[in-house]
Structure 1
């Protein structure tokens, strides 16, 4: 009898522990309206484009003949470029947006997250803003979108800045936990309702060379924008395309725009040999490696990582 009581008590404690864990991780979708106050303050605005309300920031001189368009990576948002924008906007017009499937823009109505579709989105955005030609800069997925746009629409892109960009088959030495889970089909129903904040924190720390620089506010941003209604499903759909992205690597040697390639030496998601390969394949490209930085140099050290960009564009530091 005593043994039965012990087993029942143990089972009850286990169930209580599981219940508490689920309660702490319980994270249903959030509407855009509940997120705008914190993450869409001025100069944010929303524009109607391709059936979406695209979250956008457009700063700097309006008479700039070649604005700089900044494109973020997977599960990030336009906020990843805050430091670069501060350094550039006094001399150049700087446009950044939340891509379809991420940030406050949310899912694409057609669920199409192929690279060629993203490239067409960038050009449609430029058309909407009456930008004839632009300098494209992108990090990770955003870098892949930048060079793909340059290939698909060469007359619309004057220069490229590729920051730890996608393009070649991945040889990751470490993949953020959130990305790994998003690729497991059987977890989709669970992941729609559960999102431990610690998992997001671990994923962000994974792409920084110095995890101590990951602040609670930074984790809040990634966490809360992941909860935007539809974004978790979009991430799952996007992750399915990662291997097919590399099938377009043969297009990279055809890039003719002046190109600056920036890489974090401690990038474990897209290790630095990929940067060397971009440099080899793009004729006349410039290549800068940052010691002590990881996959998101523009976020981890904005001032150091933007310095070569200022030089590349012949701007004042």
Structure 2
């Protein structure tokens, strides 16, 4: 009798703990309009491209003959380039955007998140801004988009900056929890309603070499922009794709533009041997490795990493 009553109390306690956990993690979609006040302050603007209202920032001298486009990675946003932008806009026109499926831009109308589709999006954006040719810089997924654009539309890309870019089969030693969960089909209905802020914090800390640099505001940005309506579904669609295979090597070897390759030595998601392979496969490339930095070196230490970019552009 006492054992049975004790089990009932234990079951009730477990239920209450689970209910409290779900309550704290409950996170429904937020509209783009509700997020703009915090994440689309000046000089943000929205431009219609391919049926989307694309969130972008266009800064620096408009007469720059060679603008630079900054392309963020998976689950990031244009804000990841704040430090680089501040350092470059005195001499260069710098354009950065939230890619389809991420940030305030939100999901693509056709739900197509293949690399080649993103490359066409970059060119469509350049057309809208009346930019004939530009330098492209990208981190992670954004790096893959940058080099793929150079392959598909070589006449539109003057040079490349690849920052811990995708392109070869991954040899990850650690993958953020959020990325792993996004690949589990049966969790999709749950993940549309639940998003523990602590999980986002853990994922961001995972891609930094020094987790102490991950501030509450940084976690807020990743967390709130993930909640933008449609972004969680877009992430699951994107994570289903497997594009870093042997075929990429053949494409990468065709890149003829001058290329700067930057890598965080402590990147555990796309480990440093991938950077070496980019350098081997792109004939006209320079390679710089940053000790003490992880998968997003442009965000973790913008002052140190942008120096190599300045020298390359000038």
In the superposition, the TM-score normalised over structure 1's length comes to 0.98
CA contact (8 A) 2:249 2:281 kept: no
Matched with 2:276 is 276
Shift of 1:193: 0.2
The two structures, once aligned, show a CA RMSD in angstroms of 0.7
Matched with 2:94 is 94
Query: What is the alpha-carbon distance in structure 1 between the residues aligned to residue 154 and residue 288 of structure 2?
Result: 24
Shift of 1:8: 1.4
CA contact (8 A) 2:49 2:125 kept: yes
CA distances 1:61-117 after superposition (whole Å, capped 9, x unpaired): 010111000000000000000000000011000000000000000000000000110
Query: What is the alpha-carbon distance in structure 1 between the residues aligned to residue 173 and residue 10 of structure 2?
Result: 40
Shift of 1:260: 0.3
Query: What is the alpha-carbon distance in structure 2 between the residues aligned to residue 259 and residue 248 of structure 1?
Result: 17
Matched with 2:111 is 111
Matched with 1:244 is 243
Query: What is the alpha-carbon distance in structure 1 between the residues aligned to residue 279 and residue 197 of structure 2?
Result: 37
Runs of 4+ in 1 over 6 A off after TM superposition: none
Do residues 9 (structure 1) and 14 (structure 2) align? no
Do residues 137 (structure 1) and 127 (structure 2) align? no
In the superposition, the TM-score normalised over structure 2's length comes to 0.99
Give the SS at the match of 1:35. helix
CA contact (8 A) 2:151 2:254 kept: yes
Mapping 1:104-183, distance limit 5 Å: 104-183=104-183
Matched with 2:228 is 228
Do residues 208 (structure 1) and 232 (structure 2) align? no
Is there any run of 5+ residues in structure 1 with no aligned partner, and where?
none
Do residues 307 (structure 1) and 307 (structure 2) align? yes
Q: Which moved more, 1:248-257 or 1:215-224?
A: 248-257
Query: What is the alpha-carbon distance in structure 1 between the residues aligned to residue 173 and residue 148 of structure 2?
Result: 25
Is there any run of 5+ residues in structure 2 with no aligned partner, and where?
none
Matched with 1:48 is 48
Query: What is the alpha-carbon distance in structure 2 between the residues aligned to residue 15 and residue 308 of structure 1?
Result: 54
